[in-house]
Amino acid sequence: MTTTPQDQGRAPRHAPDLRAATLDAAAALFAAEGPTGLVVRRIAAAAGCSTMAVYHYFEGKPGLLEALYDEGHKRLSDAQRRWQFTDDPEADVRNTCLAYREVALAHPGYFQVMFGRRDPGFPRPSGEARARGRENYARFIEVVRRWGEQSPLVTDAESAAHALWACGHGLVMLELTDNAPRSDLTARYATAIDATMRGLQK
Domain holding 169: CATH number? 1.10.357.10
Is residue 109 classed exposed, middle or buried when 0-12, 13-18 and 19+ CB atoms within 10 A define those classes?
buried
Contact between 45 and 66 under an 8 Å Cβ cutoff? The reply is: no
Question: Is the pLDDT score of 119 beyond 70?
Answer: no
Within a domain: residue 92? Answer: yes
Which whole number is the average pLDDT over 27-32? 92
Domain of 195?
69-200
Within a domain: residue 27? Answer: no
Q: Name the region of 86 (left: φ>0; alpha: ψ -120 to 50; beta: rest).
A: beta
Give 182's pLDDT tier (boundaries 50, 70, 90): confident
Question: Is the pLDDT score of 104 beyond 90?
Answer: yes
Within a domain: residue 24? Answer: no
Within a domain: residue 160? Answer: yes
Contact between 57 and 117 under an 8 Å Cβ cutoff? The reply is: no
User: Per residue in 144-154, pLDDT tens?
Assistant: 999 999 999 99
Within a domain: residue 49? Answer: no
Question: Is the pLDDT score of 99 beyond 70?
Answer: yes
Within a domain: residue 117? Answer: yes
Q: Can you give the length of the chain in residues?
A: 202
Which whole number is the average pLDDT over 1-13? 37
Per-residue confidence (pLDDT) for residue 10, from 0 to 100: 37
Which of 34-38, 52-56, 161-165, 171-175 has the lowest average pLDDT?
34-38
Q: How far apart are CA 116 and CA 98, in angstroms?
A: 19
Within a domain: residue 99? Answer: yes
Question: Is the pLDDT score of 131 beyond 80?
Answer: yes
Within a domain: residue 146? Answer: yes
Per-residue confidence (pLDDT) for residue 159, from 0 to 100: 98
Please state the domain count of the chain: 1
Per-residue confidence (pLDDT) for residue 121, from 0 to 100: 65
Higher pLDDT, 131 or 200: 200
Mean per-residue pLDDT of the chain: 88
Per-residue confidence (pLDDT) for residue 16, from 0 to 100: 65
129-167 burial: b if 16+ Cβ within 10 Å, else e? beebbeebbebbbebbbbbbeeeebeeebeebbbbbbeb
Per-residue confidence (pLDDT) for residue 41, from 0 to 100: 93
Which whole number is the average pLDDT over 123-152? 91
